[in-house]
Amino acid sequence: MDRCISLEDDNSPMIGNNPTVGNNPISEGSVFARSKRHMSKKAAKELFQRNQVIEAKVYKFSNVLETFNQHLAEKEKKKDKREEKRIQAWQEMKELEIKRQEHEIRNEEHLIMTTNISHLDPQIKAYYIMRKNEIFAKWSANVSNPNYNFPLPPDE
């Protein structure tokens, strides 16, 4: 039965799909049996060769697809690594910016604390005294913090 081909159109029932009519096996004289005939050796050989070619193409395309999927996975890994590096660089840049701002603040505070205010007019003198008191209070509050480093003069 495996080597039989249908002479009917594609929508007609086949012996392989309908092995019985009712509960009785298909008889030799039935319509279904007459619509099928054994495949010749040549046709079987051609069918086998076509199947071999198709299987080879399927194998080749599956290899190509697998290679393509591996390439995509590698590309995605590289993209993820680039993104991680970008995020790390951004975080380092932010940390450096914070350190730069802290350094500028320390420089400004040091400048205010070391400015001679004896020759300034009373309003500016009052501003510098107020700022010196704020800076001193800030430094004094932070001295109790074990992670605090007392501000050193800026590097010149």
Domains of the chain, by residue range, sit at 1-39
- The model scores a pTM over 0.75: no
Q: Using one digit for the tens of pLDDT, what is the confidence trace for 85-112?
A: 999 999 999 999 999 999 999 999 999 9
Q: Tokens 């007392």 label which residue?
A: 150
Which residues, in sequence order, are CB contacts of 12 under 8 Å at separation 6+? Answer: 6, 35
Query: Quick one: tokens of 79?
Result: 């993209």
pLDDT at 141: 81
Q: Using one digit for the tens of pLDDT, what is the confidence trace for 14-54?
A: 444 444 444 555 555 555 555 577 888 888 888 999 999 99
Q: Using one digit for the tens of pLDDT, what is the confidence trace for 119-144?
A: 999 999 999 999 999 998 888 887 76
Contact 13, 26 (CB under 8 A): no
